[in-house]
Amino acid sequence: MRLSVIGAGYVGLTTAACLAQVGHDVFCSDSDVDKLHKLQHGVMPIFEPHLQSIVAHGQEIGRLTFDSTERTIDFGEAIFICVGTPPLGNGDADLSAIEGVARTIAKRAEGYRLIIEKSTVPVQTGAQLRKHVSVHNTNGLEYDVVSNPEFLKEGTSVEDFLHPDRIVVGVDSSRAARLLQEIYQPIIDQTFTCPVHADCPRRPGVHFLVTDTNSAEIIKHASNSFLAMKISFINMVADLCEAAGADIGKVAAGIGLDPRIGSDFLHPGIGFGGFCFPKDLQAFVRIAEKFGCDFALLEEVERINQKRVHRFVEKLKKELWVLRGKKICAWGLAFKPNTDDVRFAPALAVIRQLLAEGASVRAYDPQAMRKAQSELPELTYCHDAYEAAEGADAIVLLTEWEEFRNADWKRLAGLVERPWMIDGRNVLSREDVVGHGFQYVGIGGVSGTPEMTHSFASI
Ligand code: UDX
């Protein structure tokens, strides 16, 4: 099928590349001409596992083309709108980019178009879009506007798109539902060459959920808000474990065994970040307000999350006393591993507070330092985790990259001023760390000192 994708961010680029991978002919555009030019020459604007290779493959075999918005609109029978919906000052989602694309489609396209809203948007945006296109429709365009929210996570976007838990479509015509089923059939049946898994664990029969547009839009916001709520919940339980002398790792495992709860997204830490949870939570609260629903529950989820950073810095103060003049080694800058994205990253919020307290920070991240530099130019960026640890009074783990889990603690013990490790993501092996003479402090009552090593086995 000939498909168009407007917007080459995480959702747009992954959508375009994956739909080409499963056999469609795809044109993709972006209003950022510099980004578009780079993509036309195979330069990726983001670090995302597997994405570069399938973009290159799609271009090579002529199934994926990056071109202007106008030519992209002309190309496809179905047009995916994947432009950004960043937060406005009051927390509402900024829909101006979507409105702009809708008007261009209305003024330019001829014949029939399936207009697919894939960006995360407030409920009733689809209805607004339908109206807007009809107002600006100068060519007698026949069209359907549908909602098709995307649930991919950064760091695993290609895998999540090709192996989704579900595909949700919000439509108001059977023609639209049929076309969307046709677009996604290779993914529903899992009949494509998988670029992620050598021995692909195909699970045919992916759920293809057909609803109305409003419900589909709410499914997206509610899903993200629920996941954020789960994280804030486990972070509160972690604080209780710390105060009451329990182990959050054990507690999370215990409650997660209940399939009604599930063990995913019960990982305590310094809070959730990224470009989705914080803004979607705010936007959902704002929408509810507009419809007279008081979502205080989600406001509390946000408040708990905002307090994580302060609480973490207090832990450092408790151990290091005065932070002014202390040397802190910061491992991780991205909001999560396997991405170079630092937007709303809790790691940067922690570092900003440390710098404000007069500490000097030496940081290392495998992928995100270039993007972090534009936000925190005053930080010292190091070539690796060991250079960052030189002379440190404390090592803080802020993003759980795999390489930190496999750190050489013997080597680190010889580099630091003081062997003190505070694990903001509870991913390190306490035995390993303490076994090499470090004091270890985690989140939620998980801690250890060299003296304790002999007792760990019994816990
Ligand atoms: C999220 C949703 O998961 C995805 O479905 C949606 O499409 C976009 O938003 P993403 O923002 O890429 O994806 O990252 P995610 O893996 O959800 O992590 C979000 C934040 O929560 C990160 O900062 C992560 O560190 C934090 N997190 C996640 C926790 O603190 N604990 C957990 O158990 C899980």
Residues 18-61 have pLDDT tens digits of 999 999 999 999 999 999 999 999 999 999 999 999 999 999 99
**Average pLDDT in the 143-153 region?**
98
- Ligand 1 centre to CA of 459 (Å) is 30
Residue 201 is predicted with a pLDDT of 76
Residue 276 annotated in active site: yes
* Side-by-side strand order, sheet with 142-147: 64-66, 25-29, 2-6, 78-81, 112-117, 142-147, 166-170, 207-211
Residues 61/89, Cβ–Cβ less than 8 Å:
no
User: Which atom of ligand 1 approaches the CA of 341 most closely?
Assistant: 12
Please report the DSSP string for 116-161 in residue order.
EE-S---TTHHHHHHHHHHHH--S--EEEEEE------TTSHHHHH
Instruction: Name the closest-CA residue to atom 5, ligand 1.
Output: 151
Torsion of CA 130, 134, 138, 144, to 10 degrees: 40
- Ligand 1 centre to CA of 274 (Å) is 7
Instruction: Name the closest-CA residue to atom 21, ligand 1.
Output: 272
- Ligand 1 centre to CA of 150 (Å) is 14
pTM of the full structure: 0.95
Distance CA 457, CA 249 (A): 15
What tokens were used for 91? 């927390």
User: Residue 66: helix, strand or coil by DSSP?
Assistant: strand
Is the CB of 281 inside a 6 Å radius of any atom of ligand 1? no
Residue 445 is predicted with a pLDDT of 78
Instruction: Name the closest-CA residue to atom 13, ligand 1.
Output: 153
- Ligand 1 centre to CA of 74 (Å) is 35
pLDDT at 351 over 50: yes
Residues 78/179, Cβ–Cβ less than 8 Å:
yes
Residues 20/58, Cβ–Cβ less than 8 Å:
yes
User: Which atom of ligand 1 approaches the CA of 274 most closely?
Assistant: 11
Regarding beta strands 447-448 and 439-441, do their DSSP bridges make them parallel or antiparallel, or are they unpaired? antiparallel
User: Which atom of ligand 1 approaches the CA of 273 most closely?
Assistant: 23
Residue 454 is predicted with a pLDDT of 47
* Rg (the chain; Cα; Å): 24
Is the CB of 265 inside a 6 Å radius of any atom of ligand 1? yes
Catalytic residue among 28, 276, 329, 382: 276
pLDDT digits (tens, 9 = 90+) for 155-201: 999 999 999 999 999 999 999 999 999 999 999 999 998 999 888 87
* Neighbouring C-alpha atoms within 13 Å toward the C-beta of 289: 13
Q: Which of 13, 82, 231, 304 to mutate to test the pocket of ligand 1 (most atoms within 8 A of CB)?
A: 231
Is the CB of 332 inside a 6 Å radius of any atom of ligand 1? no
- Ligand 1 centre to CA of 130 (Å) is 31
Q: What is the DSSP letter of 452?
A: G
pLDDT at 390 over 90: yes
How many other β-carbons are positioned within 10 Å of the β-carbon of residue 110? 11
Is the CB of 154 inside a 6 Å radius of any atom of ligand 1? yes
pLDDT digits (tens, 9 = 90+) for 429-454: 999 999 999 999 999 976 666 655 54
Residue 458 is predicted with a pLDDT of 45
**Average pLDDT in the 421-433 region?**
94
Handedness of CA 356, 362, 364, 368 (dihedral sign): positive
pLDDT digits (tens, 9 = 90+) for 310-343: 999 999 999 999 999 999 999 999 999 999 999 9
Instruction: Name the closest-CA residue to atom 15, ligand 1.
Output: 153
pLDDT digits (tens, 9 = 90+) for 366-384: 999 999 999 999 999 999 9
Considering the chain, what percentage of its residues have pLDDT values greater than 90?
93
Beta bridge partners of 115: 79, 145
Is the CB of 272 inside a 6 Å radius of any atom of ligand 1? yes
Is the CB of 220 inside a 6 Å radius of any atom of ligand 1? no
Regarding beta strands 25-29 and 64-66, do their DSSP bridges make them parallel or antiparallel, or are they unpaired? parallel
Q: Which of 227, 234, 270 to mutate to test the pocket of ligand 1 (most atoms within 8 A of CB)?
A: 227
Q: What end-to-end distance do the CA atoms of the chain give, in Å?
A: 58
pLDDT digits (tens, 9 = 90+) for 3-22: 999 999 999 999 999 999 99
Q: Which of 159, 223, 277 to mutate to test the pocket of ligand 1 (most atoms within 8 A of CB)?
A: 277
Dmax over CA atoms of the chain, in Å, equals 78
Reported as a pLDDT band with limits 50, 70 and 90, residue 205 is: confident
Residues 442/418, Cβ–Cβ less than 8 Å:
no
Residue 198 is predicted with a pLDDT of 85
- Ligand 1 centre to CA of 152 (Å) is 10
pLDDT at 456 over 50: no
Residue 140 is predicted with a pLDDT of 94
- Ligand 1 centre to CA of 65 (Å) is 30
**Average pLDDT in the 404-408 region?**
95
Residue 99 is predicted with a pLDDT of 98
User: Which atom of ligand 1 approaches the CA of 345 most closely?
Assistant: 23
The mean pLDDT of the chain is 95
pLDDT at 267 over 70: yes
Beta bridge partners of 395: 329, 421
pLDDT digits (tens, 9 = 90+) for 211-244: 999 999 999 999 999 999 999 999 999 999 999 9
Instruction: Name the closest-CA residue to atom 6, ligand 1.
Output: 151
Is the CB of 143 inside a 6 Å radius of any atom of ligand 1? no
